[in-house]
A and B are shown apart, each in its own frame.
Chain A
Amino acid sequence: MHDVIIAGGGPAGSALGSLLASAGVDVVLLEKEHHPREHVGESLVTSANLVLGELGVLDWMEEVGFVKKSGASWHPPSGSAEISLNFAELPLPGSDRPYTFHVDRAKFDHHLINRAAELGCDVREGARVRHVDLNPSGAREVHVNGDQKSKLRARVVVDATGRGTLLGNQLGIKRHDPLFDQFAAYTWCENVNRGPDPTSDYIHIYFTPLTRGWVWQIPITDSITSVGVVADKSTYREYGDLSSWFWDGLRSTPDLRTAMHEAKAVRPLLTERDYSYSLDRFSGDGWLLVGDAARFVDPIFSSGVSVALHSAKFAAESILLSLEQGDVSHRAYAAYEDRLRQGVDIWYDFIRLYYKLMNLFTYFVLRRPEHRVQLVRLLQGDVFDRSELDVLKAMRAFVRTVEQTPGHVWQSALTDMPLD
């Protein structure tokens, strides 16, 4: 019997495998595919550096040539403007550099899983976990298909299967978000006009006229840019044709036309939908969820990989303690649950407020210099181990003022996103 079995070899699973193996734990990592493999979610936030540094991969990220990400820019749907925030305005405590990276996920994820193996994790690719017998009073039994059909036993099982949400589905504890129903189409393009320095390598978000609509522009190499069109799923249903929806989206605002008028796709269009959900619990007797397998909200703030890495770090700490104390019951993981939930709840609140404001967000940012500091930190993923944020309160107050002032010019600009 092993100490820990991790299902899923993306950033969360690989980071957890690395941290546990480094601590001498007998840990097996089961990945269904063979790396390298493509994956969506290519821009990081600087908080990710904290865990990447612990994993010892930051130097490699510099050397391999990922594009440095120093900030974020937003463009309104009409007129032409660019509101930018530079992370160096407020470097994240603990981060040794005021920037992070946009990544080719195939390369990034491949390196992370190799790192886990290098640190002593038993990594098995082509091993798809089909089912887990949770056996509250005994060991967890993991049923594996694929190249490595087998049954493995462990004291603790961690679901790092991402949006596949293995245990969420198995236990029936996955809840689709009642407020978010977005649809995304994306690909890699050449000839994107990323704009002038110093913001050309920022992530650019373009608000579009579609309901909750926006476009991402993420530099991957000198010539390749990841481009994604996102909007409420209903807008796609009305269109019916994926290619038109995508390319019309890239022509739908003045700034998008400037950036994308020569863009040419170098890969087929891919889509994502039904990606906003939470799980009722993040842990149980002898099991935990990390990364997207626990919760995913929305890619608008590039928080996913940071959440994956931080959840892996928190899970590693909890698991190590539970193994030492010989108690792997759900009580041992209550602190992990609270810690992760507190952080993702902050992201959720921030994302909801952002979607309420949409392009009024940029107005808010510029009119609140006193909140700029907190905003820059929040946008860098500084959500864990902290209490209520003034900037979120201020965003709510701004929304309330707009809603409650008779004849306010922005009433029609607010979206119908409920805030409670």
Chain B
Amino acid sequence: MRGTDDRRAQIRALVIDSLGPESDLPTIDDDAALFDDLGMDSASLLRLVTGLEAAFQIQVEDDELRHDVFQNVSSLDDFVQRKLG
């Protein structure tokens, strides 16, 4: 489905951007763990949350910063879909 592929690709790109130039990743697996595998920290999470809010016009609440949401690209995609739906 074209729409969801686009959304997922956008999220993947946002994650890569948020990790910063030092991460040097051309692409990432949708199930790579953001914190454990990809080295996400407070600075990169902040960039990611801001990016998601701007890209999808959603508001990420403080109590939504959970591991089950910010687990990997797939879980983020589910989260964004729920927020949009």
Question: Residues of A with Cβ closer than 8 Å to B?
Answer: 76, 78-81, 359-360, 362-363, 366-367, 398, 401-402, 405-410, 413
Give B12 Cβ to nearest chain A Cβ, in Å: 19
Does the CB pair B43–A79 fall under 8 Å?
A: yes
Chain A residues lying within 8 Å of B43, measured Cβ to Cβ, are: 76, 78-81, 362
CB-based contact B65/A408 at 8 Å: yes
Complex CA gap A180/B42 in Å reads 25
Residue pair A408, B46 in contact (C-beta under 8 Å): no
Q: Is the CB of B20 within 8 A of A79?
A: yes
B46's contact among A80, A366, A402, by CB below 8 Å, is which?
A366
- CA of A360 to CA of B41 in the docked complex: distance in angstroms? 10
**Residue B63 at the chain A interface, CB threshold 8 Å:** yes
Q: Is the CB of A76 within 8 A of B42?
A: yes
Closest to A413 in B: B42
Q: Give Cα A401 to B66, complex, Å.
A: 11
For the complex, give the distance between the alpha carbons of A363 and B22 in Å.
Answer: 20
Q: Which residues of A contact B46 (CB under 8 A)?
A: 362-363, 366-367
How many A-B contacts if CB must be within 8 Å? 54
B36 CB to closest chain A CB (Å) equals: 12
Interface residues of B (CB under 8 A from A): 20, 22, 35, 41-46, 49-50, 62-63, 65-68, 70
In the assembled complex, the Cα of A318 lies from the Cα of B22 at a distance in Å of 58
* B62-A398 in contact (CB<8A): yes
The answer to whether B20 touches A408 (Cβ under 8 A) is no
Known contacts A79-B22, A367-B46: A407-B67 contact under CB 8 Å: yes
Complex-state Cα separation, A344 to B38, whole angstroms: 43
Taken together as a complex, chains A and B put the C-alpha atoms of A359 and B42 apart, in Å, by 8
Could you write out 16 A-B pairs with CB less than 8 Å apart? A78-B41, A79-B20, A79-B41, A81-B43, A362-B43, A362-B46, A366-B46, A401-B62, A405-B65, A405-B66, A406-B66, A408-B63, A409-B35, A410-B42, A410-B65, A413-B42
B44 partner residues in chain A, CB cutoff 8 A? 79
- The closest CB in chain B to the CB of A398 belongs to B62
Q: Give A363 to B43 CA distance when docked, in angstroms.
A: 8
A405 nearest CB neighbor, chain B only: B63
Give A79 to B42 CA distance when docked, in angstroms: 9
Please name the 5 residue pairs, one residue from A and one from B, whose CB atoms are nearest each other, closest first.
A81-B43, A407-B66, A79-B43, A405-B63, A407-B67
A360 proximity list for chain B (CB < 8 A): 42
B41 and A409 contact, CB distance less than 8 A: no
Cβ contacts under 8 Å, A408 to chain B: 63, 65-67
